[in-house]
Structure 1
Amino acid sequence: MAVSVREVAALAKVSVGTVSNVMNRPDKVSPDTVERVQAAIRQLGFVRNDAARQLRAGRSRSIGLVVLDVGNPFFTDLARGAEKRAAEAGLTVLLGNSDDDVLRENAYLDLFEEQRVFGVLVSPVDDANERLAGLRERGTATVLIDREAGDQSFSSVSVDDPAGGFAAAKHLLERGRRRLAFVGGPASLRQVADRLAGARRAVAEQAGASLDVIETTALSVLEGRRAGEAILARPQAERPDAVFAANDLLALGVLQALNMSGGIRVPGDIALIGYDDIAFAAAAVVPLSSIRQPSELIGYTAVDLLLREAAGGAAAEHEQVVFQPELVVRASTGG
């Protein structure tokens, strides 16, 4: 038979309200009392009925997080930052991977709404915010991550991707490269489009420079390798002398293809720069130059905004936090 809260309170010689505070707001209870209640919980084997608690409270103590690609270390680090801030607030994070698929994204949003989560953090696949607007109108606080709402109708945490794209291309141009190629896709992803726009602006400012676009179907190592093989298949005179990849996974794939050819030197023949500065970038066989995003800080800040959104309700003021990217120079561009 299940152990009740009253039994825990009786064994610990405290009130039922004190037991509730220990489980939900331990900062309001003295350390000695917390230890006594926790000892009683362990001794009796008490397991609280979280579903019943959610029904009474109206919301669970979980945050739903939907990312584009859980296999990308950038999103792994972002989730770590979100978990850290959530834990400080007594919340947990439930992770969903949309895999760049709107239908999968909507399925997770539906599931999180059914679970009556405290709020939702989402890196949306496209610009359609009707589903997210409906979620918020029905009482679920929502914050965009790694994307800014064009009309500022949602709180968001993002990085200035046009500035990052500009910095990447400008760095290659300053290294004396003039035939640049951008590897990235799909073009429908806002992050890809913004990074390409920044690169185009830098190239437009440099006389005699050009920018070729090699579109990929995903931001993966495999797609990067395919792009690298496509570059190798070109006549030598038509190859770029520098590549800007839309993320580090693509850049690592390009690097693999170029290295396996045996005849192309990085950075001697082709300079290469990525985006995100994941841990693997510095550990690559040719350490990879990259545009760093503060991934953990993005996740941490997003939960902070979500807490303020939830506290403010319908009257909450929407905030847009935009971090500036940082150029990290390594051997792949001659650093």
Structure 2
Amino acid sequence: MVGIDEVARRAGVSTATVSRALSGRGHVSDAARERVEAAVRSLGYVASASASSLASGRTRNIGVLLPFLDRWFFSMVLSGIAGALMRRGYDITLYSLTADRAERDTIFATFLRRQRVDGVIAISLELDEAETDRLLALDLPVVAIGGPSPRLTTLAIDEAGMARRATEHLIGLGHHAIAHIGAGHDFDLDFRIPTRRREGFEKALADAGIPARSTRHELADFTIAGGFAAATRLLGTPLGRPTAIFAASDEMAIGALLAARELGIRVPQDLSVVGIDGHELGGFFRLTTVDQFPLRQGERAAEAILAAVAGRDAVTPPPAPEALAYDLVVRGTTGPFDRGAPG
């Protein structure tokens, strides 16, 4: 196995310089760093994780807390985190934090306290005061995606703002009979995302002077199948049929498109549909959506945690929440209200 001494000889530098270049700790000239990196590539050298940890006091590993492993949004955020960390030579350890209180207590009381990570990223988790206390007691940098989390460094997304933007797009096209497909209390957990999206929807209607009686709401489960079932209930009879649907996720919006196709309802001539997320299937279905760039969210979280790890000796209060970007992407599922269309 190639050792650090051989890398140093190939690069023409000391082993201490190699160590500083690979760990990122201490000054190394650009020329020396380039020679070390070239030597590492040519020799196929891989630093020992345990040795690096002992030398630097770091594990080069980041813990990630998330509520679901099998949902598209979380997998995309996680992909962004993992890719950004890998490019910086960091590993990742996942902790699935369900609603089960005993499981959550075990993760905070046992796994995280083993000090096998240099920092923690929490994705869309509303941590209670006791859990936040336990995280902060680890004396590790913590970055939260979601929010607000006033005691933590937070990357916040404006859930109500995204919903308002989607609804305003439909109103701007002349739609007043706008239905909403959302979710019930079973999904209204961390940060009340379904409720906040419905609030944004209702705020846009109120600002436009559209009475509540002209809108309908159906509940689903943030899946394509759930959106299909909810849209079928909304569109099943011509009487009172909406001319537009705002779905609280792209997967439910895609389900609505499939229901419209099944019922022979033309999109966007008879029905406009808009979602939220920026799902990878959105382009295939030509879905108008509010893209919240989940891959970029993960990359930004990784950047933030690595910056916090590098500056962990500085004692500073958590900064104000950083607002994450979102943008309306108009495709083929929304169009002007046609007064001659059925509904």
Which of the residues 234, 239, 252 maps onto 1:250? Answer: 252
1:283 to partner: Cα distance: 1.1
Letter of the aligned partner of 1:226 in structure 2?
Answer: A
Match of 2:217 in 1: 213
1:302 to partner: Cα distance: 1.9
1:160 aligns with 2:158: yes
Match of 1:222 in 2: 225
Asked if structure 1 preserves the Cα contact closer than 8 Å seen for 2:11 and 2:35, the reply is: no
- For residues 234-280 of structure 1, what are the alpha-carbon distances to aligned partners after superposition, in whole Å with 9 as ceiling and x for unaligned? x432433321111111211222222223x322233332110012231
Q: 1:279 to 1:20 in 2, by over 3 A?
A: same
Aligned mates of 2:102, 2:170 — CA distance in 1? 38
Asked if structure 1 preserves the Cα contact closer than 8 Å seen for 2:18 and 2:36, the reply is: no
Letter of the aligned partner of 1:177 in structure 2?
Answer: H
Aligned mates of 1:14, 1:278 — CA distance in 2? 49
Aligned mates of 2:324, 2:260 — CA distance in 1? 33
Asked if structure 1 preserves the Cα contact closer than 8 Å seen for 2:119 and 2:142, the reply is: yes
Match of 2:181 in 1: 183
Aligned mates of 1:314, 1:230 — CA distance in 2? 56
1:119 to partner: Cα distance: 1.0
- For residues 68-127 of structure 1, what are the alpha-carbon distances to aligned partners after superposition, in whole Å with 9 as ceiling and x for unaligned? 444444444433443454345443344455577777666666545535212111124445
Letter of the aligned partner of 1:290 in structure 2?
Answer: T
1:196 to partner: Cα distance: 1.2
Match of 2:85 in 1: 86
Match of 2:59 in 1: 60
Sequence identity, in percent? 25
Match of 1:302 in 2: 301
Alignment of 1:40-59 (within 5 A): 42=44, 48-51=47-50, 53-54=52-53, 57-59=56-58
Match of 1:316 in 2: 316
Letter of the aligned partner of 1:275 in structure 2?
Answer: I
Aligned mates of 2:210, 2:2 — CA distance in 1? 76
Letter of the aligned partner of 1:230 in structure 2?
Answer: R
What secondary structure sits across from 2:266 in the alignment?
Answer: coil
Alignment of 1:46-125 (within 5 A): 48-51=47-50, 53-54=52-53, 57-87=56-86, 89-96=88-95, 98=97, 111-114=111-114, 116-125=116-125
1:197 to partner: Cα distance: 0.9
What secondary structure sits across from 1:279 in the alignment?
Answer: coil
- For residues 137-195 of structure 1, what are the alpha-carbon distances to aligned partners after superposition, in whole Å with 9 as ceiling and x for unaligned? 2112111113332xx21111122221111111122222232232222222334322221
**TM-score scaled to structure 2, two decimals?**
0.78
Match of 1:134 in 2: 134
Q: 1:174 to 1:52 in 2, by over 3 A?
A: same
Aligned residue pair count: 323
Q: RMSD of the TM alignment (CA)?
A: 3.4
Asked if structure 2 preserves the Cα contact closer than 8 Å seen for 1:142 and 1:154, the reply is: yes
Asked if structure 2 preserves the Cα contact closer than 8 Å seen for 1:309 and 1:316, the reply is: no
Aligned mates of 1:196, 1:313 — CA distance in 2? 42
- For residues 30-63 of structure 1, what are the alpha-carbon distances to aligned partners after superposition, in whole Å with 9 as ceiling and x for unaligned? 43344345555x4xxx764424543564431122
Aligned mates of 2:2, 2:332 — CA distance in 1? 62
Match of 1:265 in 2: 266
Letter of the aligned partner of 1:168 in structure 2?
Answer: A
1:227 to partner: Cα distance: 1.9
Q: 1:220 to 1:3 in 2, by over 3 A?
A: same
Asked if structure 1 preserves the Cα contact closer than 8 Å seen for 2:141 and 2:312, the reply is: no
Asked if structure 2 preserves the Cα contact closer than 8 Å seen for 1:68 and 1:125, the reply is: yes
**Structure 1, gaps ≥5 residues long:** none
**Structure 2, gaps ≥5 residues long:** 337-343
